[in-house]
Structures are given as structure tokens and as C-alpha cells.
Amino acid sequence: MPSFGTARSPLGEIGVVSDGTAILRVAWLADPPAGTDAGPDPLLTEALRQLTAYFGGTLRDFDLPVDLGRQSDTTRTVLTALHETVGHGDTVTYGGLARRSGTDVPARGIGAIMGANPVPIIVPCHRVVAGDGLGGYSGGMPGQGLAAKRWLLEHEGALPASLF
């Protein structure tokens, strides 16, 4: 049975689901449930520790097994290429990620694949940007996607800190 826990972040409360062998889901919680904890799942405990360290600025690379769930082969290939080739502090354009993944997905399709990512931050879809700006982001609290993406990229040093 999957375990659930939460971690606080500067962008809001984040929920994490683990099945004990892989992290299945990471999501911002608009209404965090009261009294949740990691329970007896050591992997979930470690995921919450790593997320806290990441947001605290002391962790750059996650070392967690992830399960992307039911995805098309193309989606899995693109998300795996992102996870394996775009490190902390780096960005890649939607088209650049399509090329890295060896798929023939157009840039707009890469954006849709980023929206299907069940484990944002760990599989860093926030590091995928448009050729002429930030692009989109479905993470963060409701209505705060682009602000969350900007914060994450500034936090990693991929963007200069905003003046405002």
C-alpha cells in the first residue's frame, strides 16, 4: 500500500507518494492534510529529507528511484532523458530536449509531456524552457506555476534573482 508524506517548501506544502520501492508522485498541496507523516516507509522518509535539503539549498541532485507510472514510450523516453541529462543549475529548451531524447516530438509536444510528469522537482521539468523565455509550468500552487518555475530556476542559479 502506498505511503504519503508532506514536506514544507518556500513554494507551499508538497505531497509525496511512495510504494516503498519508488517515488510515485510529487505534487503541491493547496489544502495539506493534517497529521500526515512518512510512517514506516524508509524511501518516503528519504524522499522527504532530500526535498527538504533541496529547498534548504544543501542538495543539488536527488538520489531516489522513481516510477513514472503508465506513460507512452515516447513520454517515458523524454522524461528519462530530462532526468538523466539536465542537471542542477542547467536548462534545456523544449526543442533541445526533443533532440536529446532522440524523439521526433515537436517543442509544443515536449511541453505537454512536461505536464504529464508525475514527479516534478525530482524529474526536473522546471528546467525545460522556451527558446524565448520561461515557457509554461504546471507545478506550484494553483495559479502560481510560472512564479514557481522562476523561483526554482533562481534557487538553482539557472536564472539571476529577480529584482521584484
- What would the mean pLDDT of 8-28 be, rounded to a whole number? 95
pLDDT value for 99: 95
pLDDT of res. 161: 73
Residue identified by cell 507545478 is: 139
Would you state the pLDDT for residue 137?
A: 92
pLDDT at site 36: 53
**Rounded (to 5) percent helix, strand, coil in the chain:** 35, 15, 50
Query: Each residue of 51-106: pLDDT tens digit?
Result: 999 999 999 999 999 999 999 999 999 999 999 999 999 999 999 999 999 998 99
Q: Is 109 exposed, middle or buried (0-12, 13-18, 19+ CB in 10 A)?
A: middle
- The secondary structure element, H or E, covering residue 100 is helix 94-101
Domain spans of the chain, in order of start: 3-55, 73-155
Residue 159 near residue 151 (C-beta atoms within 8 A): no
5 backbone dihedrals φ, ψ, rounded to 5°: -150, 170
Residue whose C-alpha is closest to residue 134's, from 161, 99, 94, 80? 94
Active site residues: 125
**Could you tell me which CATH class the domain 73-155 is placed in?**
mainly alpha
